[in-house]
Structure 1
Amino acid sequence: MRTWKSHFVVGAAVLMLLAVAVPATAEDAAWIPLFDGKSLDGWEKVGQEASLWEVQDGAICGSGPASMLVCTKGPYKNFRYRAEIKINDGGNSGLYFRTTAKPGFTDGYEAQIDSTHRDPIRTGSIYGLCHVYKELVKPDTWFTYELEVRDDVWRGRKMTRIKVIVDGNELYEYLDFALTFKQGHFAFQQHDPGSRVNIRKVEVMPLAD
């Protein structure tokens, strides 16, 4: 004869199995990984030969002289994009979007990565367009950078919306009426020999035009 306790145990087991079997949400499925966690397949270094990009412990690591690491997939126009990033004390880097396949430092939009570098423009900034001077992320600390970028019309004027989110906190939405960059690739910057940037879990979600 089953007691109420046995019914409870069986019920709990079923609930656990159902929880395990729940599929990923449609939004989770829509994110496309751009880094496999093992290699630099799909990425290309552009810049000084002595600059070093390598994979260590599941993360892309940039060090040495100035260069860019460009994602060869794309180009992308409207999208959500996110990456987990860590910058060293005194380091400087950038998360580029809508950049060229062979970019320099001024090609494309740059989401600044900088906690304590001598350049006072900090993480959360769109370099040259909208600046944050407060230290939002401590150096040598992993954080999530997320962007939502799409062309739109506001009060009859065409523009590009750039929403900036750090660790789940939306900082602002910048409206670029100059339509500075139309579409392009993603890239990361190795700024100088004193900087060391680490990147993991790079993902994109394309959005409709």
Structure 2
Amino acid sequence: MRNSLPYLLATLVLGFLVSCASRPSATSDKSWVRIFDGKTLDGWKLTTESPATFSVQDGAIVVAGPRAHLFYEGPVGNHDFKNFEWKALVKTMPGSNSGMFIHTAYQPSGWPSKGYEIQVNQSHTDWRKTGSVYGLQDVKEVFVKDGEWYTEHIIVQGKKVIIKVNDKIINDFTEPDSVSNASSPKKLSSGTIALQGHDPKSKVYFKDIMIKVLPD
């Protein structure tokens, strides 16, 4: 029996390792697609207003400069999303403000007139903080610190928008009928996504930008 014990233990350990290897990983969801290659802005379109606000450094999109916006115009979903998930690693520097737009459309200048802005802001003077559906259901609490990478995850399904920060739901918004029935473009419909350059004093980083298209 003594001689068979090491063999039995080795067999059990091997069986456990094979079992673990056969299980799907929590991060192996192939429906997520990276839409930023970490090197270029291929698939994205800059506004003609202050395009130098956006650059790529060390695998991240750096947003630093006067007001400008960067719209996704790549092949995924033909850059026209209705129900989808969008997440990125984000880092804000002190006093900075930015945004992640949903259901929007390219325009060469100005604040996007279509869709909603999901706020990115820990310490800027604007009281609407990260995770706010800007001007509709705002968040006052701060959940992360400037200078630290965190995950901002937006889920859009029908008339509902859920925002997670580091996997914690911080905002669960349902668009009211008064907005749904309005003729204004500031409502949920479909469209692309965009990143915001807010002002010359703000500096924000985005990387590992991914999209998952959901069924209608």
TM-score by length of 2: 0.83
Which segment drifts farther, 162-171 or 109-118? 162-171
Structure 1 stretch displaced more, 173-182 or 138-147:
173-182
Q: Is the 8 A contact 1:93 1:112 kept in 2?
A: yes
User: What is the aligned-residue identity percentage?
Assistant: 30
Of 105, 122, 133, 2:111 maps to 105
> How far apart, CA to CA, are the structure 2 residues paired with 1:139 and 1:11?
47
SS at match of 2:201: coil
Query: 1:176-191 to 2 correspondence within 5 Å?
Result: 176=175, 177=177, 178-179=179-180, 180-191=187-198
Match for residue 155 of structure 1?
A: none
1:128-180: per-residue Cα shift (whole Å, max 9, x none)? 111111222211111111111122xxxxxxxx111121111112321112131
User: Are the counterparts in 2 of residues 101 and 184 from structure 1 also a CA contact under 8 Å?
Assistant: no
Partner of residue 135 from structure 1, selected from 127, 132, 142: 142
Quick one: distance in 2 between partners of 1:109 and 1:50?
21
Q: How far apart are the structure 2 equivalents of 1:109 and 1:2? A: 68
User: 2:184 corresponds to which residue?
Assistant: none
Aligned to 1:36: 37
Amino acid at match of 2:134: Y
Q: Residue type of the partner of 2:68?
A: S
Relative distance call for 1:183 and 1:50 in structure 2 (3 A) is closer
Aligned equivalents of 2:17 and 2:96: distance in 1? 45
Assess, with a 3 A threshold, how the Cα gap between structure 1 residues 45 and 205 changes in structure 2: closer, same or farther.
same
Question: Residues 124-203 of structure 1 correspond to what in structure 2 (within 5 A)?
Answer: 124-151=131-158, 160-176=159-175, 177=177, 178-179=179-180, 180-203=187-210
In 2, distance between residues paired with 1:27 and 1:161? 26
- CA offsets, 1:64-122, max 9 Å, x none? 11111111131101112211111110000001111102264243210100111111111
Pairwise CA distance, 1:205: 1.4
Given that residues 139 and 171 in structure 2 are in contact (C-alpha distance below 8 angstroms), is that contact kept between their aligned partners in structure 1? no
Whole-angstrom distance in 1 between the partners of 2:49 and 2:3: 73
| Aligned-pair CA distance for 1:197 | 1.0
Letter in 2 for 1:145: E
Shift of 1:55: 2.1
Q: Within 2, Cα distance between the matches of 1:27 and 1:79?
A: 18
Deviation (angstroms), 1:26:
9.5
More strand by share: 1
Cα–Cα, structure 1 residues 150 and 52, in superposed 2: closer, same or farther, change >3 Å?
same
Q: Give RMSD over aligned pairs.
A: 2.2
Structure 2: gaps of 5 or more residues: 181-186
Pick closer, same or farther for the CA change 1:50–1:203 going to 2, 3 Å.
closer
- Give the distance between the partners of 1:112 and 1:26, measured in 2 at CA: 26
Matching residue of 1:156: none
Q: CA deviation at 1:23?
A: 4.2
**SS state at 2:47 partner:** strand
Partner of 1:208: 215
Give the aligned length.
201
Q: Give the 3 Å change call, closer, same or farther, for CA 56–14 of structure 1 in structure 2.
A: farther
Once the 2 structures are TM-superposed, how far is the Cα of residue 19 of structure 1 from its aligned partner? 3.1
